Structure 1
């Protein structure tokens, strides 16, 4: 009896420390993947040594995967060199997994769940997979720079540290989620079946260059747009009035406050475009729109061709940064839908989105997301084209097309002058005369 117990304990110990999916000289024929939806991906990854089955030649496609099992998959998919020493601080990692966990530590992809724990035997969650793969792509910094919400209907359940990675992985199509009548859900804290992990690992391993190309385009677009916005924000004429400075003068018995208005050089800008919408009979009618920012006023051509003027306040943004956003969305949010063209003189960023309701709303900040209720898209199609001077990084032109359903469209073309050396050459004489008459009153 004692020998039997000893033998059982020894067997249990060996099973506890052995690789549960140990590689063999010849890839085993896995007999339980015939009905798996990821059968092809599993077979390819097994042949390439990225995945292995269990000792009984099963893959267990619907079972969960532990964090240390996934560490092996990711390390092999990235072709990282094993480093058991780098995982020495983790007391919960099995000997077979230490080289792989250590490889991820050395590559900066993980720090574990605590100073001494990797969470090796914990089943990996879907949001953890998103973070690991985005780090594996080398795109964590881009995800954090964009800091945009995903459009998953359960995005509010994504843990804070994983939100940016989940959103970026969704934007490039690496994560799809599960379809429902109300949209796509991600179930961020749920567990992925081993075959689901296999499908993601296959995409990462075999189509990595394609995703890397998408990331590079986004990165390029973000860089161009941020540079242009930085130049705009730094321009002295970005706002018509920078506000009030207050001087305190003490007259012993009382204190008077004297307001001194600081007026920056006038910002001159022209906007032209066309608004197409159905009239009272349902017939589509196109009306030209034209407006100018001049001498602290916004002049707009109204119905009948007459000019209407609105005085701009000190706080109003009239520069391209204010125009290059949708509902106050930073342009970096839109970069995920971009293409980039470059030549010696200009960088052109074109952003095209043909979103469903939830996809479009994903461009909005979280507070607007919640306020909108996620019911319907504001635009069915949006195209933005930003032309940026390659030398000065200033916005030169913007072309905006917004489709508001099948029967309404807004098209706007904006041309900008040098923000700090504005000339009056684009201002029609009738506006100059109108302004002169207003000033004389």
Structure 2
């Protein structure tokens, strides 16, 4: 590392990525009195995915961030999860616990845009920078001998920061700089979309899944007129069903799902697909970071670390990708915040590095377990062999009920309280 001899402005914290995890981490830091600059590649808030299901652990994290009340009143809790075997019609059901002593514990499906907006409104608009693309990352020493991160932007400018947090998704540049193993394909892909029923749908407020040999579909209501649905295509599916080109029109994908992929599915699922808003359709391979790369990999170096999908991309089978990202934000905010407050509201490089070490120790094993459990859950849903179907139906669902309850009732804790807040910390800004 080279020593910085000239005085230049150095940001306290820079967060790369303005998705759910990036915004949530900025809110967590704001709650403890730390301003963070968020750098987002896109031109505006990213809303890809249309919907996200938030389990109890996510709502506890949102409580800690102080934003749960803005979303909970807009969406109804899901009552149960219903799994229907397409081949024989067998039904497995898990009832979700409802509100317990005033705390929200039931899962809810919410619009991703609404969640992003709720988080962004908590931040000063000047702290979120759009159309920011990073070319390289390096480190230098400042005049006190502390390490700082230096980001070279695509426009040729430099941004220097005491703390760098990569929340930049599956293909994270920060994770790559840390030397984390690249995410791998799970062997499956997913098609997702939002279906609109202008006159209202008649479906129960359940999470409904349909399992078949090579295709697993699901849908969940968001409102009385909107449902989010998805289709996971297994690696045992014929190649022509797995190989969807990026240029394939949405109409063609929708038609293939109804006429080929899911032609044996119950009419209720095909009805939902028929009401697809074509502009919301997305497709892509399902990726994950291998659990041992999380357990043994470099998740931090000094005051540089990662969170969310940058740390632990996982398959969506347990619905914990976004939930665990919100947990990351709270834990990271708590660890850095405690160091900041202990050092009289100063970010001391060596102390922050220790705080980030604590964050990594707390998160490493939990998220590695979520990655593994999500993959096993998805693998088990693909009943391509009689043995797998037997294990799934006779054993897996029974064990899964208790395990799912344990992981979704996890409480990531609270943020440290500060004696006073600046007026700016209470500002609300609308970002489209």
The TM tier, using the shorter chain, reads under 0.3
Q: Which has the higher contact order (CA 8 A, sep 6+)?
A: 2
Q: Which TM-score applies when normalising by structure 1? A: 0.23
